[in-house]
Amino acid sequence: MNIYLPIAEMSANLFLFIGMGASVGFLSGMFGVGGGFLMTPLLIFTGVPSAVAVGTEAAQIVASSVSGALAQWRRRNIDFKMGTILLAGGIVGSVFGVEAVKALRRVGQFDLFVILSYVTMLGVIGTLMMIESINAIRQAQSGIVVASRQRGQHNWVHRLPLKMRFHRSKLYISAIPPLTLGVFVGFLAAIMGVGGGFIMVPAMIYLLKVPTNVVVGTSLFQITFVTAATTILHATQNQTVDATLALLLIVGGVIGAQFGAIAGQRLKGEQLRFLLAGIVLLVALRLAWSLVVHPGELFSLTALGRP
Amino acid sequence: MGSARRRHRRTIASIAIGVLTACVLAGAAIAQRPAPSQPPSVPTQPAPPAQVPPPAPAPAQETRPPEAPPLPRESVHADVSTRRIAVTSTFSGTGIIVFGAVDNSRQVSAESGLYDVVIVISGAPSRLVARKKSNVGGLWINTSSVTFTSVPSYYAISSTRPLDEVASDDVLKSSGIGFDFVPMTFHRSARNLTAPEIKEWRDAVVRLKQHERLYQQDEYGVAFVGRSLFRSAFDMPATVTVGAFETRVYLFRDGELLSTYTTKLDLEREGLEHFVHRFAFDHPFFYGVFTVLIAVGAGMLASYVFNRNKA
């Protein structure tokens, strides 16, 4: 059954998008990741204009993170003070990101920019994860137990001014690092259609030393609101949010995530990370390939709206 | 004279519609006898490809006396099968039939091939940017672009014969018939382009639009169904831009343009799809808020449903 997507201006099978939502939802449920970084490239491969893919994916991330954020809130796992600072930065970053998308689209370089950002980001993250998971699998096989990281050590983050007390996280640190992190993640959300959890979570754990139990809740809190703001900004500034497409992806995504979570419980952590790293690297390679190989058609057309 | 002619025209038109409906409905070879009031009886063949030469036992009774005053000039008129098409969420393209008739037709039968008919359907003009990639340090990157201020969003040509056999390029060009002469205007930033560059960009637009089936050509798409009646089928893909379409019918004889006729056709968005599109462009902020609310609602509903199942 074909459906016409009003903003993407394309006609495609209804079940293709629900299926894509379900597959990525399955993976994100299995690995416990957002999935935006897989869905946006997948939408681009399907022929959805990259700006529409990015804008619409922001809406989908709202749906997939809001339930998680609520669950964390019920368990009191959100540091609202930290979250608000991350969120303030996130909205600033998102405003800049949406303007950047607008400017890049005008000069016809947004596609290139998105693909290069994805190749870089997925390449780096995929490689790091691959190395880490291979090491973890080897260690598990040889039976050596490695001492976990020491906590409570002070680094450069703790020498910055504007110190604030974060009761829930039991931290007394400068507001500058969380604010900067928020700006960066908000910018990524706007230009790449991702939540940014894969950067925010490690940065909060290793850089800010936020206790692990509040990291996930606080980042979900930030992601929910930043992607909501990004959706509204994209809709206002670029008209690139396709509500119909978003709804299809959401329906597929929520169902897929439930089954993914069940499947994830049967696999070991390091095996999961190895698998995910493999998928991430494949997507990066596929994107890089599209830039390097000779395109059959050198010309492309972009509509400019009504005269 | 005028009223007689109009009456005559009306009779032809009503016969035309009658014949056509029957042809379309039956879809098979039905020889039809029109009303006896019509001077020479018209044997209607079931729209064969024009080049097939059947025996055609037409009662060739030309009313023209050898050295008589000049015959009334031929003219053409036409209509489309559907004047208003609604595009809904499940729109997967549509077919349109254009039919028309030649007034004062001098050809004996459908197969005489005396006339050439060219039908052009063009969609509302749109603005677009064409971009060209080139290899920069191993990567294929958009390096040049040209802005068009007006390009028909849809352009379909159907004719009785290939266009180069119908008329000379000059005639085709002046009427904007054919992919080489699609009316396009460049933005003034493109005024320094050389003629071959202009051709390259124009050709690229036509090629890409053809690839999306928004530009189409059928060289034998128009078939005469009688000595004056003709028809042609067009197809519009789902990606067609909504708006006003213009259907122009050109009547040629021996490369000379005898008559043209223009009729309109509207494609409108309807239903949910129409609502979403208008909402997104007319009230972008509220559309954004609305999308977020849908997402939040869907996310919360899902977690409620699945958590309840777990508990």
User: Does the structure show a pLDDT above 80 at A277?
Assistant: yes
| B30 and A CB contact within 8 Å | no
Mean pLDDT of A237-264: 88
Instruction: Classify residue A24: in a domain, yes or no.
Output: yes
- The β-bridge partners of B247 are B121, B263
Q: What is the dihedral of CA A97, A103, A109, A112, to 10 degrees?
A: 0
| A105 and B CB contact within 8 Å | no
- Say if the Cβ atoms of A67 and B287 lie within 8 Å: no
- Tokens standing for B30? 């039905």
Range of the domain at A163: 9-140+155-291
- Environment class of A297 (CB within 10 Å of its CB; exposed 0-12, middle 13-18, buried 19+): exposed
Q: Average model confidence (pLDDT) for chain B?
A: 77
| B281 and A CB contact within 8 Å | yes
Note the pLDDT tens digit of each residue in A165-220: 887 778 788 888 899 999 999 999 999 999 888 888 888 888 888 888 888 889 89
User: How many CA atoms lie less than 13 Å away from B162 in the CB half-sphere?
Assistant: 2
Q: How confident is the model at residue B205 (pLDDT cuts 50, 70, 90)?
A: very high
> Closest residue of B to A227, CA-based?
B292
SS3 state of residue B150: strand
| Four-residue CA torsion sign, A72, A76, A80, A81 | negative
pLDDT at B33: 38
Q: B69-72 contacts: CB < 8 A, separation 24 or more? A: B71/B104, B71/B106, B72/B103, B72/B104
Mean pLDDT of B150-154: 91
Mean pLDDT of B93-120: 86
Note which residues in 32-91 of chain A have CB less than 8 A from chain B.
59-60, 62-68, 70-71
- Tokens standing for B213? 């089936």
| B26 and A CB contact within 8 Å | no
Note which residues in 72-131 of chain B have CB less than 8 A from chain A.
87-93, 125-131
SS3 state of residue A205: helix
Residues in chain B closer than 8 A to A241 (CB atoms): 280, 287-288, 291
Is the Cβ–Cβ distance between A277 and A133 less than 8 Å? Answer: yes
Note which residues in 4-33 of chain A have CB less than 8 A from chain B.
4, 6-7, 9-11
Residue percentage of chain A with pLDDT more than 70: 94
Note which residues in 290-309 of chain B have CB less than 8 A from chain A.
290-292, 294-296, 298-300, 302-303, 306
- Cα–Cα dist A240/A302, whole Å: 13
Least confident of B47-61, B104-118, B283-297: B47-61
Mean pLDDT of B93-110: 84
Q: For residue B251, which phi and psi values (nearest 5 degrees)? A: -110, 125
Residue among B90, B129, B273 whose CB faces A6 most closely: B273
| A294 and B CB contact within 8 Å | yes
The CA-atom distances, in angstroms, between B122 and each of B158, B241, B268, B269 are: 12, 11, 15, 18
> Closest residue of B to A303, CA-based?
B128
pLDDT at A204: 87
Q: Which amino acid is at B103?
A: D
- The β-bridge partners of B243 are B267
Instruction: State the fold for domain B73-269.
Output: Immunoglobulin-like (2.60.40)
Least confident of B9-13, B38-42, B272-276: B38-42
Query: What's the domain count of chain A?
Result: 1
Residues in chain B closer than 8 A to A74 (CB atoms): none
Note the pLDDT tens digit of each residue in A28-84: 888 777 788 889 999 998 889 899 999 999 999 999 888 888 888 888 888 898 999
Instruction: Classify residue A147: in a domain, yes or no.
Output: no
pLDDT at A245: 92
Q: How far B283 CA lies from chain A's nearest CA (Å)?
A: 8
Determine if residue B4 is left, alpha or beta; phi over 0 gives left, psi from -120 to 50 gives alpha, anything else beta: alpha
- Cα–Cα dist B159/A268, whole Å: 67
The secondary structure of chain A in percent helix, strand, coil, rounded to multiples of 5, reads: 70, 5, 20
Residue among A6, A241, A254 whose CB faces B302 most closely: A254
- Say if the Cβ atoms of A250 and B295 lie within 8 Å: yes
pLDDT at B89: 62
User: Does the structure show a pLDDT above 70 at B1?
Assistant: no
Following DSSP, what letter does each residue of B82-101 receive, concatenated? Answer: -SEEEE-TT---EEEEEEEE
Highest mean pLDDT among B6-10, B19-23, B27-31, B302-306: B302-306
Q: How far B300 CA lies from chain A's nearest CA (Å)?
A: 5
Residue percentage of chain B with pLDDT more than 70: 74
Note the pLDDT tens digit of each residue in B12-68: 445 445 444 444 444 433 333 333 333 333 333 334 444 444 444 444 454 555 566
Is the Cβ–Cβ distance between B89 and B219 less than 8 Å? Answer: no
Instruction: Classify residue A239: in a domain, yes or no.
Output: yes
Is the Cβ–Cβ distance between B38 and B11 less than 8 Å? Answer: yes
Instruction: Classify residue A2: in a domain, yes or no.
Output: no
ipTM for the assembly: 0.85
Q: How far B16 CA lies from chain A's nearest CA (Å)?
A: 36
